[in-house]
A = this chain, B = another copy of it.
Amino acid sequence: MKALEEKIVREGRILPGNILKVGSFLNQQLDVDFLMEMGAEVARLYQGEKITKILTIEASGIAIATAFAAHLHVPVVFAKKHHSANQSDDVYHATVTSFTHGNTYEAIVAKEYLHAGDRVLLVDDFLATGEALRGLIAITKAANADLVGCAIAIEKGFQRGGDSLRAQGIRVESLAIIDAMSVENGIAYRRS
């Protein structure tokens, strides 16, 4: 999505350690009109797929999932992060190791909000190594729901998480894919 690629270049800040700060529109400040434009593009990409639910993970996925859902007209369910195991029979859970933050947490979804027969779109703001998505995929499978695909704002292609999921046959649509990034040379986007 060209408008997103340009916005990242214009407003993003690259920091050492492969960190991309997009706090002006996707993190601490949310450019909601722009998030809605991204939502329109996601609705176009997944047109006809009969999605019934968006699944994301708190907290950074919630805003973008809300904007995407406003176009797809489906509910959002977000996994909560717990730092201890929750063995309740009422929840689906998956262990996620975050390389970015160097910690491990349990992603938890109450069973009453995800069902067999649901056609699920996974949504997140960033895709790097793909650990969070793998947790959401495990939860989708545990619910016997159908995984339609993933919709991501910014994929750090060089961290390979997206391509690893695609190699498993999972549809991953990222609105911008960064194949290389450095403080010195800026951003190189993937061209298909």
Contacts and interface: CB of A to CB of B under 8 A. Distances in A.
* Residue of A23, A59, A66, A112 with highest tally of chain B CB at under 10 A: A66
B75 A31 contact: yes
Q: Chain A interface secondary structure, helix, strand, loop or mixed?
A: mixed
Q: How many copies altogether?
A: 2
A190 interface: no
A30 interface: yes
A30 B70 contact: no
Contact of A67 (B31, B70, B77): B70
A73 interface: yes
Contact of A32 (B25, B29, B32, B76): B76
24 contacts: A23-B110, A28-B78, A28-B109, A28-B110, A29-B76, A29-B77, A29-B113, A30-B62, A30-B65, A30-B66, A30-B78, A31-B75, A32-B66, A32-B69, A32-B73, A32-B74, A33-B70, A33-B73, A35-B66, A58-B59, A59-B59, A63-B66, A66-B67, A70-B70
Interface of A: 23-25, 28-33, 35-36, 58-59, 62-63, 65-67, 69-70, 73-78, 80, 109-110, 112-113
